[in-house]
Structure 1
Amino acid sequence: MMGVASGFSLTGHIPFCHTFAPFATRRAFDQLFISGGYAQTTINIFGSDPGFAVGPNGGTHTSWEDVALMRMIPNSIVCDPTDGIQLAWLIRELADKAGIHYIRANRKAVREVYETDARFELGKGNILKQGRHIALFASGQLISETLDIAEELALKGADVTVVDMFTIKPLDNNLVIELSKTHDLIISIENHSVTGGLGSAIADVIAEAGLNAKLLKIGVNERFGQVGSPDYLQDEFGLSKTKSKQKF
């Protein structure tokens, strides 16, 4: 699929590819890296049902590593949209850009966070809730739970900032640095491995800026996928609202 897409790109077309996230990334990585990135072609890739969203398809169809892989391709763009409105904007935005673009996408309905007239910018995080004490960075399907967590923490006296970091590469480094300086704790919550994803990208920024910031990464640690409903898997892998709150 990715080899054919590269050929379409070389003949002046704008290819869009879609399959399950592990097949779009892990299985096709060499083609994406060489026929895509190295050859400087343009391919728009949609990896559907990432992480726990894959549900009963099981471990073979589960991707905890897709973001990490796609971040490794030089000059790639990696996005994890929150809802259908943001996804539609990304499709229009990336259609006019050259390069390798990876978008995580859910096939099932998710909570709509944005209004239809919302505007976004690649490489810029969106502050959905402004606070002072804790900064929660999340993306994709977990934005909904993160907003709920922030509301519950507010009832206990914690003033929480919620950031939709829908562009994981390029990351909004300036926003990470700003919030790391003004908040007591930075937390990343991701439907992905704690290695190589959003939390790792944030950690790199904090370390390279020489900041003395506390960072907690919430994600999947050293596990393969398994069979179950999305709700069951989200809880099993520690990404439900209840399990996430227990970690901090």
Structure 2
Amino acid sequence: MNVEQARFNMIEQQIRPWDVLDARVLELLAVVRREEFVPPAHRALAFADLELPLKPGEAAVVAGQVMLPPRVEARMLQDLQVAKHEKVLEVGAGSGFMAALLGHRAQRVLSLEIDTELAATARANLQRAGVLNVEVRQQDAAHADLSADGPFDVIVLSGSVADVPETLLDLLKPGGRLMGIVGDEPVMRATLVQHAGNGMIVTQPWDCNAPRLLHFPEPERFRF
């Protein structure tokens, strides 16, 4: 496989057609080596428009332990407009790839990962890639007290939730943004929440399904 050609094709055939037109994001995707964050068993699919399992077996997919497709990560990064002076919280480190992208754009990134093995993998991947302003912490974000770490300019949910968690909105600075994929299959929506100082502005710019982040509240389901 010609890796650089595959990377070029990913950017031009998947990402740009998905309305990712910010030159800074496209240049970053050409620089951060996605294949180095993909498990060896799936490296040949590093640039495919797929969710890639981060652990062997079907259990990883069921548990949502996957890398999101490149176009989804790129669109989230573009919509959040992360700046160099900003502090970022990511929920769901996975392999560390999204944290690496955020690290190149932000001043500091705290990335939480509930799975101990994945947290260790993400740390190793980030260190090998020379991304030194990201801290990966093994922690359940749904039940973590992050008041000492916040507030944050940007919060990224690298997975889906039924509703935007109020506990995370409370960690946003005025002017801050939170983005996640919200709703239930078959239709979920990328949801951008902006802290306007006197309230929250919510937009849902595009549709996308993604695996659940664990332990965040689920609405009551009607039962007969």
TM-score category by the smaller chain?
A: under 0.3
TM-score, normalised to structure 2, is 0.28
Q: Is the strand fraction higher in 1 or 2?
A: 2
TM-score, normalised relative to structure 1: 0.26
Structure exhibiting the larger radius of gyration computed from Cα positions: 1
**Using CA pairs below 8 Å that are at least 6 residues apart, which structure has the higher relative contact order?**
1
